[in-house]
Amino acid sequence: MHVVGAPMSSDERAETMSAIAEAGGAKEVDPLRLDKLLASHDKGALQIMLTESAVAADKAPELADRLCDAFENLAKECELPALIDALDANFIPPVSGGDLIRNPESLPTGRNLHGFDPFRLPSAFAVIEGERQAKQLIARHVADSGLLPTSVALVLWGTDNLKSEGVAIGQALSLIGARPRFDSYGRLCGAELISLSELGRARIDVLMTLSGIFRDLLPMQTRLLAEAAFLAADADEPLELNPIRRSALAYQEKHGCDLDTAALRVFSNSEGAYGSNVNMLVDSGRWDDESEFADTYTNRKGFAYGRAGAVSQQTELLNEVLGNVDLAYQNLDSVELGITTVDHYFDTLGGISSAVQRAKGDSVPVYIADHTGSGDGKVRTLDEQVALEARTRLLNPKWYESMLDHGYEGVRQIEAHLTNTMGWSATAGGVAPWVYKQASETFILDEDMRRRLAELNPVAASRVANRLIEAQERDYWGADEEQLEALRRAGEDLEDLLEGITGEVAA
């Protein structure tokens, strides 16, 4: 966790600079060696190291300059002075925001972030990269199932698209078989279809669910996506090559509506509302059946946005489209966040996965595309991604010890990661039992660790114990009787501590 005004430790700085180098194309960078070279200001030696790390000779000078600038800017302390200036109503210098690993030009921190030009989103780069990522997703699903998906449930967040210049928007368009259309001034003005001959495959029916931030900040892009879906539904093409048209015509015939309604594929909350509330349901623990998540999700996210920008409640249409979905998917674009770091991921992707399962009567694959580092990124199943984050975050001593350095907030972060992990079990079933077993052994059944957690934050420590017991009671892992009894005793001890009952008093 970052503390305002506090500089990075030398280890954190070395790891950050290594990540920036790898995002620039370097391979297997030694963080300590890189840190020493940057501190020495020896650009010649730095360029040699970069070429040894698979950076092309003609690219090494540019990357070296970028690394030197980032290294210098990381050392600058601008946050507290900027905070004082803001409180005094003084000018704060602006800077383009984004992930500092891929956009180190956003350093130093402490400046006034600005976003984007809405008329140029998605950018030309985002359209090309979105097409590549669409092919990557299709290839993974074909490798797993042997079939081209006919319908994909895609989660789109506003912040991720702002940081990536609209890559996920480009990906959604590519799956449909469309591209953005720009006027002679280079301003976004709509969508156009890619011909089937140029596309080289069948179109894919894409159900796009938007975050409230996306809906608010990107109305032009919302209309762009809705227009792309309508154009596909209206295209005079063979139905076997155009599942969007096939599904829309079937819905139109069944319900007697117009094609504009039947072709709606962009869904979000009603205006002014945010989130699906699935996360709140999980956090409360007050639910009896997983179908409650599907109800909550579709009720909150059942508002369709059309190509003219009009919004209408279309819960029945949403449920019918959900019944055709072959896979659910979301991009992971920030190195700072994982799908178990915050509850928004299982609130959206987990929520729609639960809704798909109810509509189809069966679960579908859930994929996460990790584009947080260098290279082409990697598409993982939900199970693979949760396991990776459990090993690198929740159950990693380097991670949880660094959290505990922050005292009570660190314990709260551990509890939040565990709750978010259970959120995936509840909504999509994507957590292996060993995650809960090792979490119980690490944080609760280890008496010394349990005491540390309780001393720092007894409320969060008690929630960790109770969450593990809840996960067992919901059959997410198979604790034996001895483990379960030990967990219950530990939970009771923590509850007693909260109530001020010591061992002597309890006796």
Measuring CA to CA, which residue among 426, 331, 325 is closest to residue 385?
331
Give the range among 97-101, 175-179, 185-189 with minimum mean pLDDT.
97-101
Task: Provide the whole-model pTM.
Answer: 0.85
Q: Average pLDDT of the chain? A: 93
Asked whether residue 421 falls in the same domain as residue 458, the answer is yes
Q: How many domains does the chain have?
A: 3
| Residue 499: band (very low, low, confident or very high) from pLDDT cuts 50, 70, 90 | confident
The reply to whether 298 falls in a domain is yes
Q: Could you tell me the pLDDT band of residue 96, with boundaries at 50, 70 and 90?
A: confident
pLDDT (0 to 100) of residue 374: 63
In DSSP notation, 417-475 reads HHHHHHHHHHHT----HHHHHHHIIIIISSHHHHHHHHHH-HHHHHHHHHHHHHHHHTT
State whether 167 and 280 are in the same domain: yes
pLDDT for 159 equals: 87
Within this chain, do residues 106 and 139 fall inside the same structural domain, yes or no? no
The reported pLDDT for the residue numbered 388 is 97
pLDDT bracket for residue 505 (50, 70, 90): very low
Q: Specify whether 329 is located in the same domain as 424.
A: no
Least confident of 100-114, 190-204, 386-400, 437-451: 100-114
Residues 334 and 422 in one domain: no
For residue 114, the Cα-to-chain-centroid distance in whole angstroms is: 21
Q: Clarify whether residues 245 and 96 are in a common domain.
A: no
Residue 388 lies in a domain: no
Kindly provide the b/e burial profile for residues 229-267, where b requires at least 16 CB atoms within 10 angstroms of the residue's own CB: bbbbbebebeeeebbbbbbbbebbeeeebeebbbbbbbb
pLDDT at 504: 39
Rounded distance between C-alpha atoms, residue 267 and residue 209, angstroms? 5
One domain, residues 165 and 187 = yes
pLDDT in tens, 216-269: 999 999 999 999 999 999 999 999 999 999 999 999 999 999 999 999 999 999
State pLDDT tens for residues 395-424. 999 999 999 999 999 999 999 999 999 999
pLDDT tens digits along 116-138 = 788 999 998 899 999 999 999 99
Residue 502: band (very low, low, confident or very high) from pLDDT cuts 50, 70, 90: low
How far apart are the C-alpha atoms of 447 and 441, rounded to whole Å?
Answer: 10
Instruction: Using the predicted structure, report yes or no on whether residue 98 has a pLDDT greater than 80.
Output: no
Tell me which of 60, 92, 114 is where a domain ends: 114
On whether residue 338 sits in a domain, the answer given is yes
Strand arrangement of the beta sheet that strand 327-332 belongs to: 311-313, 303-305, 266-268, 205-210, 151-156, 327-332, 366-370, 378-381
pLDDT digits (tens, 9 = 90+) for 344-396: 999 999 999 999 999 999 999 999 999 887 678 899 999 999 999 999 999 99
User: What's residue 501's pLDDT?
Assistant: 61
Q: Do 48 and 168 belong together in one domain? A: no
pLDDT at position 507 is 32
Residue 25: predicted pLDDT: 83
More confident call, 71 vs 374: 71
pLDDT band at 336 (very low <50, low <70, confident <90, very high): confident
| 386 part of a folded domain | no
Assigned domain for 265 exists: yes
Mean per-residue pLDDT for 147-168? 94
Q: What is the largest CA-CA distance in the chain?
A: 82
Report the alpha-carbon angle 171-213-283, nearest 5: 105
Shared domain check, 164 and 103? no
Last residue of a domain, one of 380, 404, 437: 380
- Binned at pLDDT 50, 70 and 90, residue 177 comes out as very high
Asked if 218 and 330 sit in the same domain, the reply is yes
In a domain, 390, yes or no: no
One domain for residues 158 and 185: yes
The domain of 78 spans 10-114
Domain boundary among 114, 147, 175: 114
In a domain, 4, yes or no: no
Mark whether 87 and 186 lie in a shared domain.
no
Question: 101 lies in a domain?
Answer: yes
Lowest mean pLDDT of 196-205, 231-240, 261-270, 325-334, name the range: 325-334
* Number of residues assigned to the chain: 507
